[in-house]
């Protein structure tokens, strides 16, 4: 056997056993050449290593459970089931991460078409991680629906609606403040716009990056004649132009 090859094998084994992951990666790059870029770590983990990202997701789930426990008194058995569901959601996410990693191995990053395909694979994972793994389709949510009794479920639903209402109100206030910056508005106009938007249906689900402009998408669903009751003609036209600029960003909203 080639002595250089044998040396590489022995040093590689020693590194796996004795070295921290970050040192091992640097060691292997020096020994075997440049490591292949981890596109999942770049676009999904935002540069963090997998262990740190996994721990962050588990902490997010634990925070969700702690919030629930401030609203609903859970039994030990219920808590254990929900903790297992959180672990299941994290495990399922990293199973999908592994599949995407396999798909992106060896991709030429200088090939624009190939990188567009990579983005199509990576984007769903990125969105899931940004909005949090606990959503309507999560194992946690399904476990919640089957584990809570009727009175607990009623408390949870009321709590969830309060949070959604508070979030919608905050987004509407931000939207009106942005309009005030662009137009500007009189105090009574600001108040009237807030009241008008609060009357409108609000999306029950939207992507994290849509939060900054979802209020404008709600505004776009308001009949233009309602604006005329609040704004002057020039302001109404300006609002219509602003809203039109966000129409193509409505993908993924659930009303």
pLDDT per residue, tens digit, the chain (255 aa), is 555 444 444 444 444 444 444 444 444 444 444 445 678 888 888 878 899 999 999 999 999 999 999 999 999 999 999 999 999 999 999 999 999 988 888 888 888 888 888 888 888 898 888 888 888 889 999 999 999 999 999 999 999 999 999 999 999 999 999 999 988 899 999 999 999 999 999 988 887 778 888 999 999 888 888 888 899 989 998 998 999 988 888 877 777
Q: Which of 213, 222, 214 is nearest to 240 (CA)?
A: 222
Instruction: Let me know whether 99 and 168 are in one domain.
Output: no
Instruction: Let me know whether 55 and 141 are in one domain.
Output: yes
Instruction: Let me know whether 176 and 144 are in one domain.
Output: no
Determine, yes or no, domain membership for 155. Answer: no
Instruction: Let me know whether 50 and 118 are in one domain.
Output: yes
Instruction: Let me know whether 44 and 139 are in one domain.
Output: yes
The torsion region of residue 132 among left (phi > 0), alpha (psi -120 to 50) and beta comes to left
d(CA 193, CA 231): 9
Instruction: Let me know whether 42 and 144 are in one domain.
Output: yes
**pLDDT for 27:** 43
Determine, yes or no, domain membership for 4. Answer: no
For 223, the domain range is 164-249
Q: Which of 148, 177, 197 is the last residue of a domain?
A: 148
Any residues with CB less than 8 A from the CB of 216 and at least 6 apart, and which? 175, 178, 242, 243, 246
Determine, yes or no, domain membership for 120. Answer: yes
- Do residues 76 and 7 lie in contact, with contact meaning Cβ atoms separated by under 8 Å? no
- Do residues 206 and 127 lie in contact, with contact meaning Cβ atoms separated by under 8 Å? no
Q: Which of 123, 148, 173 is the last residue of a domain?
A: 148
Determine, yes or no, domain membership for 58. Answer: yes
Taking each helix axis as running N to C, give the angle between helix 3-18 and helix 21-32, from 0 to 180 degrees, rounded to the nearest 10.
170
Determine, yes or no, domain membership for 46. Answer: yes
Count the domains in the chain. Answer: 2
Instruction: Let me know whether 83 and 172 are in one domain.
Output: no
d(CA 12, CA 27): 9
Here the tokens at position 162 are 């309060």
Instruction: Let me know whether 141 and 44 are in one domain.
Output: yes
d(CA 138, CA 88): 9
**pLDDT for 32:** 42
d(CA 222, CA 200): 8
Here the tokens at position 150 are 């009727």
Instruction: Let me know whether 144 and 169 are in one domain.
Output: no
- Do residues 164 and 206 lie in contact, with contact meaning Cβ atoms separated by under 8 Å? no
d(CA 137, CA 132): 11
CA 248 to chain centre: 20
Instruction: Let me know whether 133 and 50 are in one domain.
Output: yes
Q: Which of 128, 107, 136 is nearest to 44 (CA)?
A: 128
Here the tokens at position 216 are 């404008």
Three-class secondary structure of residue 205 per DSSP? strand
Instruction: Let me know whether 141 and 173 are in one domain.
Output: no
Q: Which of 177, 159, 183, 165 is nearest to 237 (CA)?
A: 183
Determine, yes or no, domain membership for 85. Answer: yes
pTM exceeds 0.85: no
**pLDDT for 251:** 78
Instruction: Let me know whether 187 and 125 are in one domain.
Output: no
- Do residues 89 and 61 lie in contact, with contact meaning Cβ atoms separated by under 8 Å? yes
């Amino acid at each position: 056997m080639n002595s250089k090859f044998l040396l590489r094998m022995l040093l590689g084994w020693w590194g796996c056993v004795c070295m921290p992951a970050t040192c091992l990666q640097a060691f292997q790059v020096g020994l075997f050449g440049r490591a292949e870029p981890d596109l999942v770590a770049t676009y999904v983990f935002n540069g963090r290593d997998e262990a740190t990202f996994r721990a962050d997701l588990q902490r997010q789930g634990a925070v969700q459970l702690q919030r629930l426990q401030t609203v609903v008194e859970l039994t030990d058995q219920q808590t254990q089931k929900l903790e297992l569901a959180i672990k299941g959601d994290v495990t399922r996410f990293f199973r999908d991460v592994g599949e995407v990693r396999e798909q992106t191995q060896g991709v030429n990053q200088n090939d624009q078409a190939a990188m567009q395909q990579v983005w199509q694979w990576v984007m769903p994972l990125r969105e899931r991680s940004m909005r949090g793994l606990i959503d309507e389709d999560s194992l946690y949510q399904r476990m919640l629906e089957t584990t809570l009794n009727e009175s607990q479920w009623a408390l949870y639903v009321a709590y969830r609606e309060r949070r959604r209402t508070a979030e919608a109100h905050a987004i509407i206030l931000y939207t009106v403040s942005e309009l005030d910056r662009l137009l500007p508005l009189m105090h009574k106009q600001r108040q009237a716009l807030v009241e008008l938007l609060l009357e409108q249906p609000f999306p029950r689900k939207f992507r994290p990056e849509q939060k900054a402009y979802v209020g404008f998408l709600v505004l776009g669903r308001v009949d233009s004649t309602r604006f005329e009751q609040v704004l002057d003609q020039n302001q109404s036209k300006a609002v219509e132009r602003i809203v039109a600029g966000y129409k193509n960003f409505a993908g993924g909203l659930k009303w």
